Amino acid sequence: MGGRVLAAIDTSAYTDSVCSHAVWAAARLEAPLEFVHVLERQADGARFSDLSGNLALGTQEALLEQLVAVDEAQGKLAQERGRLLLRHAQSIATAQRGIEAETRLRHGGLVDTLLDLEDGVRLYVLGKRGEHVDFAQGHLGSELERVVRAVHRPILVASRAFADIARVLVAFDGSATTRKGIEMVAASPLFRGLHVDVVTVGKDGDAAQAQLRWALDTLSRAGLDNAGRIVAGEPDDVIAGLVQDERIDLLVMGAYGHSRIRRLIVGSTTTTMLRTCRIPVLLLR
């Protein structure tokens, strides 16, 4: 599969980590790398509509002219800040892997922008939280949740800081969606040379064992070092425990579905996983 790695960056605490994760992915995929920064539009009417109330006509006009001038200055400042941010991202790509990344400064909303650019994208990279989310409160960025629901490409959700990735955990339940995920892992250069653990959360039995054997055989045929297990319990608890106990560096999950594991991304359990998991999460489509 061709296409570029597209990383969305802002001025949040995740910026450098998003850049490093994107550089890592682009290097392993031997794919072009592009950074995009989105300047959100604001509605002039919403900002100025409440200013005319008790002011005389001449005063209204003078004040609105001043506000428009301030708004234009702020817009120019935001554009210059965006250009500096993109140059910073380029410098990270060059310093870490010698990659000459492309950049793009766009106006609009993040979700619409990523959808507009989706043709030719192989992998998105985003941070868990944006510049307007209080990191100390541990909230998950609402923009990330909207992006996950909207786009049709895999998303690498960067952790707070980048660390070398050697051990991967794949959540697998034997469904068509997670079987496709195993096949994607097996086929992708992203996982070459990495150890891949596969976990099925649920009741052990012949059917579950057969599905797990299929997953491990698929990975083995691709030359990937792997291991698998079936663990009883709740998916979020089991996965979180394995991530910590096995020193997992990257968690791979399906983004949508109806099983207990795949429901993680559409409900409060997924929000909890992404919020509390301190490693990057790759969401497969």
Domains 9-41+78-158 and 167-279 equal at CATH topology level: yes
Of 141, 161, 124, the residue nearest 36 (C-alpha): 124
- Residue 266 to residue 36: CA distance in whole angstroms: 26
At residue 6, the pLDDT reads 98
271 has pLDDT over 70: no
* Structure-token pair, residue 82: 């965006």
**How many residues in total does the chain contain?**
285
What's residue 51's pLDDT? Answer: 53
* Domain extents in the chain: 9-41+78-158, 167-279
Q: By three-state DSSP, how is residue 195 classified? A: strand
In degrees rounded to 5, what are phi and psi of residue 97? -135, 5
Please write the tens of the pLDDT for every residue from 212-230: 999 999 999 999 999 999 9
Q: What is the residue-averaged pLDDT of the chain?
A: 85
Q: List the strands of the sheet with 281-284, edge to edge.
A: 102-107, 33-39, 4-8, 121-127, 155-158, 281-284, 250-254, 167-171, 195-201, 225-231
Helices (H) then strands (E): counts for the chain: 9, 10
What percentage of the chain carries pLDDT values higher than 70?
Answer: 81
Alpha-helix runs per DSSP H in the chain: 15-29, 44-48, 57-97, 110-116, 142-150, 176-187, 206-221, 235-245, 268-276
Task: Give the pLDDT band (50/70/90) at residue 8.
Answer: very high
d(CA 7, CA 281): 15
> With 80 as the cut, is the pLDDT of residue 274 above it?
no
Pairing state between β 250-254 and 281-284: parallel
CATH architecture of the domain 9-41+78-158 equals: 3-Layer(aba) Sandwich (3.40)
Instruction: Say which CATH architecture domain 167-279 belongs to.
Output: 3-Layer(aba) Sandwich (3.40)
Q: Coil, strand, or helix at residue 120?
A: coil
Which pTM value belongs to this model? 0.84
18-65 pLDDT per residue, tens: 999 999 999 999 999 999 999 986 544 445 555 555 556 667 677 777
